[in-house]
Amino acid sequence: MDDLVGPTRRAHRITWVGITAAALLVAASVLIPLWTGWDVAVKGGPPLHGFWDPRFGPGSAPAIAIAVLALVGAAPLAMRLRWGWLLLAAYLTGAAWLAMLALVDGFDGIAAVLDADIEYLPTAREVTDLGATLEEFIERIPRDHPDNWRVHIAGHPAGALVLFVGLVRIGLGSGAAAGWLVLGLAATIPLAVMLTMRRFGAELAARRAAPFLVLGPSAIWMAVSGDALFAAFTAWGLCLLAYATRAASHAATAAWAIGAGLLLGYGVLLSYGLVLMGLLAVAVLVLGRDWRPLPWAVGAALVPVLVFAAAGFAWWEAYPVLVDRYWDGIASRRPASYWIWGDLAALACSAGLVAGASVGLTAARVREWRSWSRPVEVVVVLTLAAAATLLVADLSQMSKAEVERIWLPFVPWLLVGTALLPRAWVRPALAIQLALAITLQHLYFFQW
């Protein structure tokens, strides 16, 4: 019996049930509003924020070629390549996959998205006095303010806008430059997850999960979304925290933990929901069996938050104002009776149907906790921590629709559980992921 997979017959059954359940959930989320005329207040066709627009473009053939080559060789290569070469291959393959899916819409698939009126760049270009912007940031969040912020600016902490102001000021303020930068950083996210797993003694599990971390439908949104940038911040923050728990000296522990804290702390200033990354951070410390990094990481995380507060933007004051705007606007028209499960259907589109199997396989191993090997422990703890984080986000009702983008930072950690897939399922499951990505990108136009 394969220690990672567990009893083979049970693993096959859970994989089949998990993927089927995810598919049925997606089907229900599409068909029920369509058949009943239920207005769930989302642009395009629920559960996704997108418009029906069948098309082919410059990136179509290369994306299909990458998918075919991945089906043939991704899993075997992930097991055979030396670790350094695997990381390089994962980065290059991921970047190519992200780029070719985006280029289905031509060059505008990368260059135009971040230039949209609701995005950060147009506002970032208008900022001439950053200090004054931070001081007035909170008062401009409400919808009834005569000069209220654009949707994405108002819906995120000030750190997101400041980040894009920084890009503008170093000469990367065009849609193309910012788009390629986001894509390049998004392609590093699988590496952060794999390095975290390996740091805890789960290299084999990292290798098995690698194809699913690198290739999948989340690439549709990762390539062109500010949330992918936020995902990179937090993924590397968790990775550095993992290194802090395994440092050889107190000085090294402090250094790794401070780096982790700065990234995770700034992550909270990028998206309000990223405060939930605290659950995954605790999971990392539990796996590391070392709480020495905690005070260093917490102290460092407070630095960017307090610096912004001193400059005029206090996170804890802004969040209630954002909640009021959210419920005064679209949230009040989006029925919780749909979105409490429709969000999970959107997640199944973004993370892929294999996410159902990932969660199911890890949940099935919980009762065996006394006999877990180290790799199994790493996989189960990280995957279930991500699932718990998403459940909290869902039940909070602060995420109703658009979660295929908003929840991108949690998706890679949810897919860690693909390491538990039976070997016979690896290629079919990867085929499902790739086919879903290509189908969605070619049939729907997504604003981000």
Angstrom distance (rounded) from CA 276 to CA 237 = 13
Does 1 have pLDDT greater than 70?
no
pLDDT of 149-188, one tens digit each? Answer: 998 999 999 999 999 999 999 999 999 999 999 999 999 9
Rounded to 10 degrees, what is the CA torsion of 245, 247, 250, 255? -90
**Within-domain flag for 254:** yes
Distance, CA of 40 to chain centre: 24
In one-letter notation, the amino acid at residue 396 is S
In one-letter notation, the amino acid at residue 417 is G
pLDDT of 76-114, one tens digit each? Answer: 999 999 999 999 999 999 999 999 999 999 999 999 999
Contact 75, 428 (CB under 8 A): no
**Within-domain flag for 137:** no
> Is this structure's pTM higher than 0.85?
yes
Which structural domain range is residue 27 located in?
Answer: 8-110+168-446
**Within-domain flag for 400:** yes
pLDDT at 331: 86
Domain count for the chain: 1
Contact 415, 358 (CB under 8 A): yes
**Within-domain flag for 359:** yes
Distance, CA of 445 to chain centre: 20
Angstrom distance (rounded) from CA 321 to CA 356 = 35
Does 5 have pLDDT greater than 90?
no
**Within-domain flag for 145:** no
The residues facing 446 across adjacent strands are 50
Angstrom distance (rounded) from CA 43 to CA 34 = 13
pLDDT at 8: 86
Cα-based angle 80, 379, 242 (whole degrees, multiple of 5) = 90
**Within-domain flag for 159:** no
**Within-domain flag for 1:** no
pLDDT of 372-401, one tens digit each? Answer: 999 999 999 999 999 999 999 999 999 899
Backbone angles phi, psi at 398, to 5 degrees: -85, -5
Distant-in-sequence contacts of 329-334, Cβ < 8 A, 24+ apart: 329/143, 330/41, 330/400, 330/401, 331/397, 331/400, 333/39, 333/41, 334/40, 334/41, 334/42, 334/400, 334/401
Phi-psi region of 303 (alpha: psi -120 to 50; beta: other; left: phi over 0): alpha
What contacts 263, CB < 8 A, 6 or more positions away? Answer: 233, 234, 236, 237, 240
**Within-domain flag for 2:** no
Contact 118, 151 (CB under 8 A): yes
